[in-house]
A = this chain, B = another copy of it.
Amino acid sequence: MGFTGIHLARELLAEGEEVVLFQRRGNLPSSASDLQGKVSIASCDINNWVQIVETVRKHEISTIYHAAALLSKGCEESAFGGFRVNVEGTMNILEAARVLGVKNVIYVSSGATYGLHPPAKVYDDTPQKLENMYATTKACCERLGEQYHRQYGINFCGARFAMVVGPTRQISYHYGDWSGVIERAAQGMPYTVHSNPESPCAYIYIKDVVRALVDLKKADQRRLRRRIYNFHGFMATLAQVTKVIRKHIPDAQIRFDWDRSDEMKLHNNALNYEMDNAATFADLGWKPRFLLEEMVEDFIQEVKRGGAD
């Protein structure tokens, strides 16, 4: 029931699917109050086998979209914690799928597996370069999922995204600018950008993300040449993004206060690569619907409609 889960739930509901949101505890956030009464909510710790089995059985689940993970910060604090949640958690999902006959497991992986200094353009088969625990766990899960496909025939597919943006995405210091500058502007709030305003970033809009996940699930198995695909939206700098924002909100209070530290440089660089979409389009028919202009416009409208924190 994180950022991706909530947006995915909306897409699936629109398609007429029944949706069960897994969460560790608590209720729907206020920004997702539109889902109240339309989705089931299962109190489910990914490290608790019993709860997963119980939930899958109770709701006769046929597809699991798996986006639960301890993110970079948590993995840096404790590699073992990251392993438990991300890798053991994924194994629990895969085993539940195997034992209970869940047909599809669609996994949200990450472009972070291409490393902190990715090449200018990455293809689906560009060798991954794991440089932190988060990326390490994501790559291990990709391998384990592929193996469950080979060994047990589970329809495991994974998606690698670069910088996902959209309403209610968490706004952190090093990775938050790309989504935050639009969300805050749309809310009429001031925002200070600390990233390099001219550093290009591989963007993808959350609506294209959830469509990618659904397309992976629906894919014609005979056409899939691999189990993990890259999904790329478009390249843009924060300066370019800001320009588009101002077309819609001329008085947006956006300030640039470039943090030239090595750490910020590292994080900005890690996003500066283009993903190739050719195989994704050929095999899945997927291409991004939201490029820079469309993304900013829709993002702003969604926030104004109420879908922000």
Query: Are A150 and B127 in touch, CB under 8 angstroms?
Result: no
Chain A contacts with B in 89-116, Cβ cutoff 8 A: 91, 95, 99-100
Picked from B54, B130, B151, the residue with its CB within 8 Å of the CB of A99 is B54
Chain A contacts with B in 17-31, Cβ cutoff 8 A: none
Query: Are B144 and A83 in touch, CB under 8 angstroms?
Result: yes
Minimum CB–CB distance for A26 against chain B, Å: 13
Which of the four size classes fits the interface of chain A? 20 to 34
Q: How many copies does the complex hold?
A: 4
Q: Which 5 pairs of residues, A with B, have the shortest CB-CB distance?
A: A140-B140, A136-B147, A54-B99, A49-B49, A50-B95
Would you call A163 an interface residue if the criterion is a C-beta within 8 Å of the partner chain's C-beta atoms? Answer: no
Q: How far is the CA of A136 from the CA of B50 in the complex (A)?
A: 20
Query: Are B133 and A79 in touch, CB under 8 angstroms?
Result: no
Minimum CB–CB distance for A282 against chain B, Å: 22
The residue in chain B whose Cβ has the minimal distance to the Cβ of A101 is B57
Given A83-B91, A99-B54, A146-B130, check contact A151 B76 (CB 8 Å): yes
Query: Scoring A residues 115 to 151 as 1 if CB is less than 8 Å from chain B, else 0, what string do you get?
Result: 0000000000001001111001001100110111011
Query: Are B95 and A80 in touch, CB under 8 angstroms?
Result: yes
Would you call A258 an interface residue if the criterion is a C-beta within 8 Å of the partner chain's C-beta atoms? Answer: no
Can you list 17 A-B pairs, Cβ within 8 angstroms, ordered by A? A48-B80, A48-B81, A53-B53, A54-B99, A57-B99, A79-B151, A79-B152, A80-B91, A80-B95, A83-B144, A88-B88, A130-B146, A130-B147, A131-B150, A132-B147, A136-B144, A140-B144
Given A49-B50, A50-B99, check contact A139 B147 (CB 8 Å): no
Would you call A87 an interface residue if the criterion is a C-beta within 8 Å of the partner chain's C-beta atoms? Answer: yes
Collect the chain B residues with CB atoms within 8 Å of residue A57's CB: 99-100
Q: How far is the CA of A50 from the CA of B93 in the complex (A)?
A: 11
Collect the chain B residues with CB atoms within 8 Å of residue A140's CB: 87, 140, 143-144
Q: How far is the CA of A148 from the CA of B99 in the complex (A)?
A: 24
Query: Scoring A residues 36 to 66 as 1 if CB is less than 8 Å from chain B, else 0, what string do you get?
Result: 0000000000001110011001000000000
Collect the chain B residues with CB atoms within 8 Å of residue A130's CB: 143, 146-147
Q: How far is the CA of A148 from the CA of B147 in the complex (A)?
A: 24
Query: Are A143 and B136 in touch, CB under 8 angstroms?
Result: yes
Collect the chain B residues with CB atoms within 8 Å of residue A48's CB: 80-81, 84
Collect the chain B residues with CB atoms within 8 Å of residue A151's CB: 76, 79, 132-133
Minimum CB–CB distance for A134 against chain B, Å: 10
The residue in chain B whose Cβ has the minimal distance to the Cβ of A77 is B43
Q: How far is the CA of A280 from the CA of B150 in the complex (A)?
A: 33
Collect the chain B residues with CB atoms within 8 Å of residue A150's CB: 131-132
